[in-house]
Protein backbone atom coordinates (compact mmCIF):
# COMPACT_ATOMS: atom_id res chain seq x y z
CA UNK A 1 0.00 0.00 0.00
CA UNK A 2 1.40 3.39 -0.98
CA UNK A 3 0.91 6.52 1.02
CA UNK A 4 -0.19 9.58 -0.83
CA UNK A 5 1.08 13.05 -0.21
CA UNK A 6 -1.08 15.45 1.81
CA UNK A 7 -2.90 18.00 -0.34
CA UNK A 8 -1.48 21.48 0.19
CA UNK A 9 -3.15 24.58 -1.22
CA UNK A 10 -1.15 27.63 -2.30
CA UNK A 11 -2.04 31.22 -3.13
CA UNK A 12 -2.91 30.40 -6.73
CA UNK A 13 -5.31 27.68 -5.60
CA UNK A 14 -7.18 30.13 -3.39
CA UNK A 15 -7.19 32.68 -6.23
CA UNK A 16 -8.77 30.09 -8.52
CA UNK A 17 -11.38 29.20 -5.88
CA UNK A 18 -12.31 32.86 -5.45
CA UNK A 19 -12.24 33.38 -9.21
CA UNK A 20 -14.80 30.65 -9.77
CA UNK A 21 -16.92 32.14 -6.98
CA UNK A 22 -16.78 35.55 -8.70
CA UNK A 23 -17.70 33.93 -12.03
CA UNK A 24 -20.67 32.14 -10.45
CA UNK A 25 -21.82 35.29 -8.67
CA UNK A 26 -21.40 37.36 -11.83
CA UNK A 27 -23.44 34.96 -13.92
CA UNK A 28 -26.40 35.47 -11.57
CA UNK A 29 -26.44 39.25 -12.01
CA UNK A 30 -28.46 39.50 -15.24
CA UNK A 31 -31.43 37.34 -14.18
CA UNK A 32 -31.62 39.18 -10.85
CA UNK A 33 -31.56 42.71 -12.28
CA UNK A 34 -33.57 41.94 -15.42
CA UNK A 35 -36.88 43.13 -13.93
CA UNK A 36 -35.54 46.54 -12.88
CA UNK A 37 -33.59 46.78 -16.15
CA UNK A 38 -36.78 46.16 -18.13
CA UNK A 39 -38.62 48.80 -16.13
CA UNK A 40 -35.83 51.36 -16.65
CA UNK A 41 -35.40 50.69 -20.38
CA UNK A 42 -39.17 50.34 -20.95
CA UNK A 43 -39.38 46.88 -22.50
CA UNK A 44 -41.73 44.08 -21.54
CA UNK A 45 -40.79 40.71 -20.11
CA UNK A 46 -44.27 39.19 -20.46
CA UNK A 47 -43.98 38.32 -24.14
CA UNK A 48 -42.35 35.00 -24.92
CA UNK A 49 -39.71 34.27 -27.50
CA UNK A 50 -37.01 36.75 -28.41
CA UNK A 51 -38.31 39.82 -26.65
CA UNK A 52 -35.70 42.12 -25.17
CA UNK A 53 -35.26 40.00 -22.02
CA UNK A 54 -34.73 36.82 -24.03
CA UNK A 55 -32.32 38.57 -26.38
CA UNK A 56 -30.27 39.81 -23.41
CA UNK A 57 -30.06 36.30 -21.97
CA UNK A 58 -29.16 34.70 -25.30
CA UNK A 59 -26.55 37.40 -25.97
CA UNK A 60 -25.04 36.85 -22.52
CA UNK A 61 -24.91 33.07 -22.96
CA UNK A 62 -23.38 33.44 -26.43
CA UNK A 63 -20.66 35.77 -25.16
CA UNK A 64 -19.86 33.38 -22.30
CA UNK A 65 -19.52 30.51 -24.79
CA UNK A 66 -17.28 32.48 -27.13
CA UNK A 67 -14.98 33.71 -24.38
CA UNK A 68 -14.73 30.29 -22.72
CA UNK A 69 -13.56 28.82 -26.02
CA UNK A 70 -11.13 31.70 -26.57
CA UNK A 71 -9.73 31.30 -23.05
CA UNK A 72 -8.98 27.65 -23.77
CA UNK A 73 -6.95 28.59 -26.85
CA UNK A 74 -5.21 31.45 -25.03
CA UNK A 75 -4.34 29.21 -22.06
CA UNK A 76 -2.76 26.72 -24.45
CA UNK A 77 -0.63 29.46 -25.95
CA UNK A 78 0.32 31.66 -22.95
CA UNK A 79 -0.34 29.38 -19.97
CA UNK A 80 -3.27 28.94 -17.62
CA UNK A 81 -1.85 31.06 -14.84
CA UNK A 82 -1.36 34.19 -16.95
CA UNK A 83 -4.71 33.88 -18.75
CA UNK A 84 -6.59 33.25 -15.51
CA UNK A 85 -4.95 36.26 -13.86
CA UNK A 86 -5.91 38.56 -16.73
CA UNK A 87 -9.45 37.17 -16.82
CA UNK A 88 -9.84 37.77 -13.06
CA UNK A 89 -8.67 41.34 -13.55
CA UNK A 90 -11.15 41.88 -16.37
CA UNK A 91 -13.96 40.31 -14.31
CA UNK A 92 -13.14 42.63 -11.41
CA UNK A 93 -13.18 45.67 -13.70
CA UNK A 94 -16.48 44.58 -15.27
CA UNK A 95 -18.15 43.92 -11.93
CA UNK A 96 -16.84 47.22 -10.59
CA UNK A 97 -18.22 49.12 -13.58
CA UNK A 98 -21.56 47.32 -13.19
CA UNK A 99 -21.74 48.25 -9.52
CA UNK A 100 -20.81 51.85 -10.29
CA UNK A 101 -23.48 52.14 -13.01
**Pick from 19, 22, 21, 27: which is nearest to 81 by CA?**
19
- Residue 82's domain comprises 28-100
Distance CA 19, CA 21 (A): 5
What is the reported pLDDT for 88?
81
How many structural domains is the chain composed of? Answer: 1
What is the reported pLDDT for 43?
73
- In a domain? residue 61: yes
- In a domain? residue 77: yes
5 φ, ψ (degrees, to nearest 5): -75, 145
Distance CA 29, CA 82 (A): 26
- In a domain? residue 2: no
Report pLDDT digits (tens) over 10-23: 888 888 888 888 77
Report pLDDT digits (tens) over 44-101: 776 655 566 677 778 878 988 998 899 899 999 999 888 888 888 888 888 778 777 6
What is the reported pLDDT for 69?
92
Does residue 22 contact residue 88 with C-beta atoms inside 8 Å? yes
Amino acid sequence: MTHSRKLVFGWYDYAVFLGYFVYAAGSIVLPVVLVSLARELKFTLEEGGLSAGGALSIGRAGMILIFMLLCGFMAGRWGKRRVFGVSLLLAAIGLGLSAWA
